[in-house]
Amino acid sequence: MTPGTVCVVGSVNADTTLRVRALPGPGETVLAAHRHGSGGGKGANQAAAAAAAGARVALVAAVGDDEAGGAERAALEERGIDVSRVASVHDATGSAVVVVAEDGENLIVVHPGANAALDATSAAAAVAELRPAVLLGQLEVPLEALAAAARARGDGLFVLNPAPMTASPDGLDGLLELTDVLVPNRTELAALVGRPLPISPAEVRACLAALDCSADVVVTLGADGCLVRSGGVLTEVGARPADPVDTSGAGDVFCGVLAAGLANGQGLLPAVRRANELAALSTTSPGAQVPPGFFSSGVVH
């Protein structure tokens, strides 16, 4: 195991963000006041956050052999992320359209593109070579590749963010068995136990009790903070007050900072508290990826 190192197996997207007064309802057309292009994808976002939080980060991913793929790879490398294991495939780089309302709420539509081409053999080989302290994964790449990477991680921790929850929860059983720390939001937690939405704060606890998973579980609750289940003990972590500009990517910041803390030897609860604070702070800046150096001042470590 390589102390202090986080390996992210995940997606890379080219994002287009549209800012609107309010999110559109079904069948409704709204006009955007602003359009902005930026890097995205849950894997890239989490890698960027982990690097900004002080970890050594390597990314295992796939981009297209197009202009967007080259640009996203270069931008991540400029952040100090090891992109030598980001494959270039004959496909379009993944993309996403992010619609952000004035109150910071958002909706996101993703086209996987090259992310779907990440294969299990190369992912496992990359992780086995790196032997990271923490392997961090999400569900925007094939489950087979993620499971192979998790089996190849050696003594490191596997942190799984089960998002987006597009796969049947039944198909995640094998992946959950490999997981050391599971980080769902309340929607993903409900899906994992088959409970219909919406769920109240009290139902979050009921869902957590019903979740058959031996891993430590950290449920992110947005403005309500998070709930941690570890060793049979539940701990509430309160939210950091923030005046949100854009909540897209806040969950990815949480996961990246959490992985960085665990990789650098923090215990679960201290790492969760720091991740909770920096995720809230990230909502005060537009875009899904935090700018380099964004966490360098005015933050409790």
The set of catalytic residues is: 252
170: three-class secondary structure by DSSP: helix
Cα gap 10→26, rounded to integer Å:
30
Cα gap 174→299, rounded to integer Å:
38
CB atoms within 10 A of CB 152: 19
DSSP 69-118: HHHHHHHHHHTT-B-TTEEEESSPPEEEEEEE-TTS-EEEEEE-GGGGG-
Are 57 and 28 in contact by the 8 Å Cβ rule? The answer is no
How many residues in total does the chain contain? 301
Are 147 and 21 in contact by the 8 Å Cβ rule? The answer is no
67: three-class secondary structure by DSSP: helix
Q: Which residues pair with 5 in a beta bridge?
A: 56
User: Listing from the earlier edge strand, what are the strands of the sheet with 34-40?
Assistant: 34-40, 13-19, 94-100, 106-111
Are 50 and 76 in contact by the 8 Å Cβ rule? The answer is no
Are 219 and 190 in contact by the 8 Å Cβ rule? The answer is no
Cα gap 249→152, rounded to integer Å:
28
